[in-house]
Amino acid sequence: MKLGIVGMPNVGKSSLFNCLTQAGAQSANYPFCTIAPNSGVARVPDKRLQTLERIYNSRKVTPAIIEFVDIAGLVKGASGGEGLGNQFLAHIREVDAIVHVARCFKDDNVTHVEGSVDPLRDIDVINLELILSDLEMVEKWLAKAGKSARADKSLQAEADALKLVKADLEAGKPARGALDKMGDEIRDIILGFNLLTAKPVLYALNVSEGDMTNDGADNADVRKVQELAKEENAKAFSVCASVEEEISTLNDDEREAFLRDLGVERSGLDKIIQASYALLGLISFFTAGPKEARAWTIKNGSRAPQAAGKIHTDFERGFIRAEVINYDDIARLGGAAAAKDSGLMRVEGKDYVVKDGDVMLFRFNV
């Protein structure tokens, strides 16, 4: 899974990226200090892995990972080359979802490219640039698809779908709305164009430390963006980049104590990952044994052979069956053997739909 972090200059994008990935991206109090996109990975926190490590006495623990791409700050006119230009818009096309960082804190020592703090205005600026960039590409594709459709009627549905997207973009609406009106087959085709405004969005609202205890509920700017997210069927949550910076240097036990002292239940990384999993329809399954306890990320609704293919293509190609025990049963009974003795281990075939938390052993023959 790859998430692109976008936003206006100096809203806290690179600071948040550094905290999430500890990748050391440059962060400074002036516009465009990020020129090339920085990329880094973060572990997906999952306490279930530690329990499996203990139960199976695993020598190694491998969590799932999430890749973050920090994309340079966008300004008005970016789609036409303003600022550092639409080269950065191209980087966004490669991600699965967008983490849109909006500044919801006031600090005279941190400059804002627009001269004031107004997250809704900033969000509109970014969205408009994404829409204009998409519109330019759709018009080019539509001109090509229109000609092809006249010669090949099977392409007419694609051309009609592009016209639907174009109408929404011209009205200042993201492509996500048009996609919701399409059937699955044509929707998949349009998704293949990698439109920026077709990607799911998470709003990360950068707040002051004082706003963290109640998740920004007393911050008027936070409430405005949360209302916008509700209208867009998107996700919005508060983070504090300065707090995340402190958290990123701590071990797991210290992190929990630190958050407890702040009166905060979850770190920003936890919020982003949980929201992105929900938005993208992802779940985790596990493999566990003396050598390794490992988490794997798959689409919700995936069948057992597809899950096996995440480990190795040979597992999917030669899939025979899967031996499955859900994590909750293993944790409750204290081990796989006890769960098996209680009749809770299942042998599943090719049609089995994997559940979140399944601990799986695949049998295959190639």
pLDDT tens for residues 4-42? 888 888 788 878 888 777 644 344 433 333 334 577 888
Instruction: Tell me the CATH number for domain 2-46+62-116+198-279.
Output: 3.40.50.300
pLDDT, average across residues 89-114: 79
**Encoding tokens for residue 26?**
């440059």
pLDDT, average across residues 347-362: 96
Cβ atoms within 10 Å, residue 168: 21
pLDDT, average across residues 99-125: 82
Instruction: Among 67-71, 107-111, 185-189, 328-332, name the one with the lowest average pLDDT.
Output: 107-111
Contact 212, 238 (CB under 8 A): yes
Which range, 38-52, 267-281, 346-360, is most confident?
346-360
Alpha helices in the chain (DSSP H): 13-21, 47-56, 87-92, 119-151, 156-170, 175-179, 184-191, 220-232, 241-247, 252-262, 268-280, 304-311, 313-317, 327-333, 336-341
Q: Alpha-carbon distance 257 to 245, whole Å?
A: 15
Q: Which fold has domain 128-196?
A: DNA polymerase; domain 1 (1.10.150)
Q: Alpha-carbon distance 245 to 249, whole Å?
A: 7
Give which of 105, 121, 99, 96 is closest to 228, Cα–Cα. Answer: 121
pLDDT at 31: 37
pLDDT at 34: 39
Q: Alpha-carbon distance 16 to 240, whole Å?
A: 8
Q: Alpha-carbon distance 11 to 204, whole Å?
A: 10
Identify which has the larger pLDDT, 36 or 276: 276
CATH 3.10.20.30 for domain 301-364: yes
In the chain, the percentage of residues whose pLDDT exceeds 90 is 40
Distance in Å from the first CA to the final CA of the chain: 29
Q: Alpha-carbon distance 111 to 15, whole Å?
A: 15
pLDDT tens by residue, 37-87: 577 888 888 999 999 999 999 999 999 988 888 876 655 554 454 444 455
| Domain ranges across the chain | 2-46+62-116+198-279, 128-196, 301-364
* pLDDT-derived band at 297, boundaries 50, 70, 90: very high
Q: Which residue has the tokens 């709003």?
A: 203
Identity of residue 289: G
The answer to whether the 128-196 and 301-364 domains have the same CATH topology is: no
| pTM metric for this prediction | 0.80
